[in-house]
Amino acid sequence: MNRWLVVIGAILIQLCLGAIYAWSVFTPALTKAVAEGGMYGFSTGQAMLIFSVGLFFFAFVMIMAGRKMPSVGPRKLAVAGGIVLGIGYILGGFFGRTFPAQLIFIGIIGGTGIGLGYVVPIAVGVKWFPDKKGMVTGLAVAGFGFGATIWVKSADSWFHLLENLNFFGLGGVQSVFLLYGVLFLVLVLLGSIVMVNPPAGYVPAGWTPPAATTAGAGASGMTDFMPGEMVKTPQYVIIFLTFFFGALAGLMVIGVIKLFGMDALQANGVEKTIASATAGTAMAWYAIFNGLGRIVWGTVSDKIGRKLSIFLMCLFQGIMMLAFYKLGGAAGTLILGACIIGFNFGGNFALFPAVTADYFGNKNVGLNYGFVFFSYGIAGIIGPMIAAHFKDAAKAVAVPGAPADPSVWITPFMIAGIACLLGAAITLVSKPPVKK
């Protein structure tokens, strides 16, 4: 089989799995007070908890999916992910009127579907492209970021689905869930057709595998660690923490960028509808650059090395998070900041599976990466909930009808920025493991 077909199938699958990053487009409708004409009246914390639970189950289930893939096979696992994800959103469409219902259908079931399918394109891609691990992991997961753009803009400014759809009298949010669920089910099943491992002993034409040596073998991916061996190494702890810090910042911004953008722009005199549209545009550009960052950072890391790439990515992200509050008050700088943060955040999903393969072996990357990726699940709860805590606390003491105070966002952005700088610092002490 032409190995580039695997990349096409991977992107198609990831376009659907990336729908979780479109969550911010739903938060204004979900958090609009019932007294003001809202249909749901969720608090910011409730809306963010649905998102966070989805991320947690995504990461948690991915560990089990990695364990099952050798026995079940990648294609069946991808099919299962598509079915579960699609059913979760379909049920969320029909029955997601309340917070508990959305938490179960979109958060738990939808997140489970993503976790089942996500590891498949990465593990299969690394086996077909041992010569270009950074590039292929970037391409394989780029669809996750680009998919968010499609789902955000379709629901908002492209087709105004949130305003125009009303299947069975369900309203805009649930109607979009229903439509997206059907699309996810179909598209993931199509992409799963080419999710097959290469023949045993496969080597790309013209490529000579590096020799596995005792000292430094972990840098080549030719020496394999099992998860029990991997988690006992200091390298695993450093990778886990660095991924956690980077994901904390990126997921915080994904979850609140629409709310933050509207607050910051309106505080600077921008009319509400224009502020909403601008924040939605920033969210879409975030998703686009999230996808680009996966490709670019992955490709760059094949040239300059994974360690230096992770250091630079975390350093730039930390600086941007500390500056993001100031950038949010004008349309141009809000969008620019969103692009840079999204670009750096996207790099995590190319660099960390690649460094996991480099350090702990190509053979077990599908199994091992789940244990690394669990840091993302923890960050998915902590990052958005930190921001939601400060936002809800400000709303509780705000004067009814008064404009929102954007300064509430300073503290969460500072926490995330400092965390990224800490991740950059600890990356400098990392070195390939030695398997005795």
Q: At 82, list the tokens.
A: 């598509």
pLDDT at 352 over 60: yes
Please check the confidence at residue 217 and state whether its pLDDT lies above 70.
Answer: no
Res. 135: pLDDT tops 70: yes
Rounded CA separation 231/225 (Å): 9
- Quick: pLDDT tens for 397-431: 676 766 778 899 999 999 999 999 999 999 999 88
Ordered structural domains, the chain, with CATH: 4-198+218-427 (1.20.1250.20)
Query: With pLDDT > 70 as the criterion, what percentage of the chain qualifies?
Result: 96
Mean pLDDT of the chain: 91
- 394 pLDDT tier (thresholds 50, 70, 90): confident
On the question of pLDDT at 211 being above 70, the answer is no
Assigned token pair, 377? 């699940």
Asked whether the beta carbons of 337 and 320 are under 8 A apart, the reply is yes
pLDDT band at 218 (very low <50, low <70, confident <90, very high): very low
Full DSSP string of 162-220: HHH--GGG--HHHHHHHHHHHHHHHHHHHHGGG--PPPTT---TT--PPPP-STTGGGT
Neighbours of 123 (CB within 10 A): 30
**Which of 279, 263, 289, 272 shows the shortest CA–CA distance to 344?**
289
Q: Is 429 helix (H, G, I), strand (E, B) or coil?
A: coil
Q: How much of the chain is helix, strand and coil, in % rounded to 5?
A: 80, 0, 20
CA distance 339 to 166: 32
Q: What is the pLDDT of residues 174-209, one digit of tens each?
A: 999 999 999 999 999 999 999 999 998 899 988 888
* Amino acid found at 74: P
% of the chain surpassing 90 pLDDT: 73
Residues 289, 263: Cα–Cα separation, whole Å:
23
Task: Give the integer Cα–Cα distance in Å for 194 and 199.
Answer: 14
CA 248/CA 152 separation, integer angstroms: 21
